[in-house]
C-alpha cells in the first residue's frame, strides 16, 4: 500500500484545511499519516496514524532541530511514497530531516501558504527565511503556491527542483457561506441585537501583530471622530493579543462600537449580518476569511499585500489600501458607507469571484497535481 504523509505545524491546521484531501487520498488507496503539534482533542477522520511533533515558532529553536532528528527516524521507518508539507517551519525542519536520509521519499511537495520573505518583511528576517528555503531546495521536488507573488518569488529564487504550480488556495466550501436577501439580513441583525442602521465591519482572524487588529481599532476611532457614529466593528477569533486589544479599545473609548466574539462557530451568521469585510493583515497566503466573506456577498477592503491582491479587484468587489494607511482605509469605508448601490454591485461581484476558489473547483485539480507529480518521479 502506498503511503502519504501530511505535515503541518499543528494538527488543527490539518483539520481546518486538509480533511477533503485526506479523504481523497484515503479513497485512492493510500495509507494516510499526519504530523503536527497537538493542540486539540478532536478526532481527525481518514487518518491511519497521527504522529505528534511539538514544533515551536522559531527557526532557531533547538527543539525544532531535535524534532528534525525524530522526524528523520519516522521517515526512515515508515518509508513514505509522498510527503506533502504545509506551514513554513514544519516544512523546513521536515526537509532538513529528509536531507539526513540515505534514501529520501519518492516525492517531496512543499505547499506554500505564504512565504515569509516578501517586501513587507524586515531585511534580517527576509534573508534568514530565504536562506533556509534555498538550503533545503535540494530535497524540494515540487512547490505548490497560492498567490501570484509567491509564484514569482519561487521562480525568481529557483526554490524547487522540478516543477511549480499555482492553485486557488486549499478550497472553501462556499455552500456553507451563502449570500442572503436584505430581508433575512435584517432579521438576523434583529435577533442579534444589531440595528438596521448599523454599518458593520467584520474581521475574522487570530489576534496577533501579523493580523494587525490594532490598525482597525485606530481606524474606527478616526471614523467615529469624523462623524460615522453608527459604525460597528466585529472582531471574531481569539489569540495572544485578544485581551490587549480589548483594553486598547477601552482606552480609545470605542468599546461600545467594537464587538469581540472570541472563538465562534457562527462565522457565517456574522458575515451575513455585516456590510463590509475588512483585513489589515501584514502578510497572507490566500486567506480563507476573505473568500468566505466574498461567498456571502460582502465587499472587501483589505491591505494591498499578496493573497489579498489575488482576491480583491479594486473598484469591482472592493478596494485595496496601502498597508497601515489609515486615511486611505477610512476613505474607502466612507465611500461604501455612503453608497448603498455601490455596496450592492460589489456584493454581486464578490459572490461571483468566490466560486473560483470553492473546494469543488480546487480539490481535484490539486490532488491531480500531486498524483501526476508522483507518477513522474517513480
pLDDT, tens only, 119-169: 667 778 888 899 999 999 999 999 999 999 999 999 999 999 999 999 999
Q: Are residues 190 and 167 in the same domain?
A: no
Q: Are residues 24 and 99 in the same domain?
A: yes
Q: Are residues 11 and 105 in the same domain?
A: yes
- Cα–Cα distance, 310 to 46 (Å, whole number): 32
How much is the average pLDDT of 166-194? 95
Q: Are residues 56 and 158 in the same domain?
A: yes
Q: Are residues 31 and 179 in the same domain?
A: no
Q: Are residues 114 and 153 in the same domain?
A: yes
Q: Are residues 70 and 27 in the same domain?
A: yes
HSE at residue 234, side-chain half, CA atoms within 13 A, is 25
Whole-structure pTM over 0.85, yes or no? yes
Q: Are residues 319 and 272 in the same domain?
A: yes
Q: pLDDT confidence of 117, banded at 50, 70, 90?
A: confident
Question: To 5 degrees, how large is the angle CA 223–CA 313–CA 359?
Answer: 110
- Residues paired with 272 in a beta bridge: none
State residue 254's pLDDT score: 97
Number of domains composing the chain: 2
State residue 25 phi and psi, 5-degree precision: -70, -35
CATH number assigned to the domain comprising residue 42? 3.40.50.2000
- Cα–Cα distance, 135 to 291 (Å, whole number): 33
- Cα–Cα distance, 104 to 239 (Å, whole number): 37
State residue 124's pLDDT score: 82
State residue 41's pLDDT score: 62
**Percent residues over pLDDT 90 in the chain:** 89
Q: Are residues 150 and 182 in the same domain?
A: no
Q: Are residues 336 and 222 in the same domain?
A: yes
Q: Could you tell me the residue range of the domain that residue 128 belongs to?
A: 3-171+359-377
Distance in Å from the first CA to the final CA of the chain: 15
Q: pLDDT confidence of 42, banded at 50, 70, 90?
A: low
pLDDT, tens only, 9-40: 999 899 989 999 999 999 999 999 999 998 76
- Cα–Cα distance, 362 to 117 (Å, whole number): 26
Q: Are residues 149 and 185 in the same domain?
A: no
Q: Are residues 273 and 369 in the same domain?
A: no
pLDDT, tens only, 334-360: 999 999 999 999 999 999 999 999 999
Amino acid at each position: 500500500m502506498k503511503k502519504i504523509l501530511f505535515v503541518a505545524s499543528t494538527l488543527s491546521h490539518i483539520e481546518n484545511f486538509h480533511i477533503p484531501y485526506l479523504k481523497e487520498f484515503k479513497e485512492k488507496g493510500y495509507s494516510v499519516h499526519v504530523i503536527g503539534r497537538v493542540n486539540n482533542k478532536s478526532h481527525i477522520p481518514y487518518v491511519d496514524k497521527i504522529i505528534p511533533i511539538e514544533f515551536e515558532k522559531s527557526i532557531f529553536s533547538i527543539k525544532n532541530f531535535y524534532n528534525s532528528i525524530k522526524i528523520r527516524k519516522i521517515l526512515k521507518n515508515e518509508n513514505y511514497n509522498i510527503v506533502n508539507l504545509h506551514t513554513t517551519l514544519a516544512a523546513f525542519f521536515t526537509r532538513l530531516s529528509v536531507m539526513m536520509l540515505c534514501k529520501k521519499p519518492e516525492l517531496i511537495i512543499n505547499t506554500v501558504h505564504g512565504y515569509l520573505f516578501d517586501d513587507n518583511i524586515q531585511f534580517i528576517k527576509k534573508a534568514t527565511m530565504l536562506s533556509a528555503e534555498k538550503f533545503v531546495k535540494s530535497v524540494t521536488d515540487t512547490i505548490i503556491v497560492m498567490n501570484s507573488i509567491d509564484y514569482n518569488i519561487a521562480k525568481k529564487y529557483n526554490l524547487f527542483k522540478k516543477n511549480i504550480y499555482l492553485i486557488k488556495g486549499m478550497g472553501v466550501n462556499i455552500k456553507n457561506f451563502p449570500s442572503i436577501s436584505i430581508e433575512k439580513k435584517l432579521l438576523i441583525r434583529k435577533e442579534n441585537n444589531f440595528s438596521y442602521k448599523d454599518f458593520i465591519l467584520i474581521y475574522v482572524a487570530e489576534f496577533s501583530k501579523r493580523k494587525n487588529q490594532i490598525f482597525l481599532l485606530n481606524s474606527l476611532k478616526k471614523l467615529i471622530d469624523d462623524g460615522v457614529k453608527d459604525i460597528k466593528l466585529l472582531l471574531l477569533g481569539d489569540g495572544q493579543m485578544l485581551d490587549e486589544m480589548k483594553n486598547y479599545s477601552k482606552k480609545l473609548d470605542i468599546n461600545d462600537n467594537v464587538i469581540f466574539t472570541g472563538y465562534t462557530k457562527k462565522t457565517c451568521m456574522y458575515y451575513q449580518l455585516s456590510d463590509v469585510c475588512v483585513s489589515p493583515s501584514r502578510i497572507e497566503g490566500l486567506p480563507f476569511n476573505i473568500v468566505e466573506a466574498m461567498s456571502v456577498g460582502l465587499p472587501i477592503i483589505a491591505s494591498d499585500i499578496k493573497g489579498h491582491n489575488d482576491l480583491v479587484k479594486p473598484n469591482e468587489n472592493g478596494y485595496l489600501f496601502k498597508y497601515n494607511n489609515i486615511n486611505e482605509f477610512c476613505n474607502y469605508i466612507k465611500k461604501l458607507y455612503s453608497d448603498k448601490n455601490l455596496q450592492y454591485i460589489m456584493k454581486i461581484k464578490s459572490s461571483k469571484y468566490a466560486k473560483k476558489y470553492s473546494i469543488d473547483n480546487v480539490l481535484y485539480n490539486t490532488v491531480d497535481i500531486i498524483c501526476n507529480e508522483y507518477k513522474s518521479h517513480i
